[in-house]
Amino acid sequence: MKVLVDASFLMLCAEAGRDFIRLAEDVIREPMEPYVTEEVLNELRSIARRGGRRGRLASIALEIAGRMHVIGGGGEMPADMRLLQEAARLKAAIATMDMNLIRRARSLGIPVISVGSDKRIIFEGFRL
């Protein structure tokens, strides 16, 4: 299963020190093929340059993203719009913690992976 990963999800992985994509694989018993867009990488680079705690987490998130397939060539499109566009094109899920992005994905029928406050994986729009 293809999954596009958002900056918020990568930052959570960095903060929690857990690979939530692999944990999701364990739950659904299906391998996931993680993708990240160039826009998400640019967002993380921008946060990393600011320094501080969030900057350190963004740097770690960039290292995590370095092990994913990169989708380039999006132009000047906002990161969330690009994620939605690519998820629809690839018939992929989106992994995010961004509630606005979750709502927009729901309205478009795009499956979503997120993490609850108890650190459990939440699947929406999947046939498990």
Average pLDDT over residues 11-19: 93
127 band by pLDDT with thresholds 50, 70 and 90: low
Residue 107 lies in a domain: yes
What average pLDDT does the chain have? 92
Task: Tell me how many domains the chain contains.
Answer: 1
Determine the pLDDT at residue 67: 93
Residue 17 lies in a domain: yes
Distances from the Cα of 2 to the Cα of 15, 18, 36, 58, 96, angstroms = 23, 19, 11, 23, 14
Task: Give me the domain span that covers residue 111.
Answer: 2-75+90-116
Q: At 104, which CATH number?
A: 3.40.50.1010
What is the pTM assigned to this prediction? Answer: 0.92
Determine the pLDDT at residue 106: 93
Is residue 41 over pLDDT 80? yes
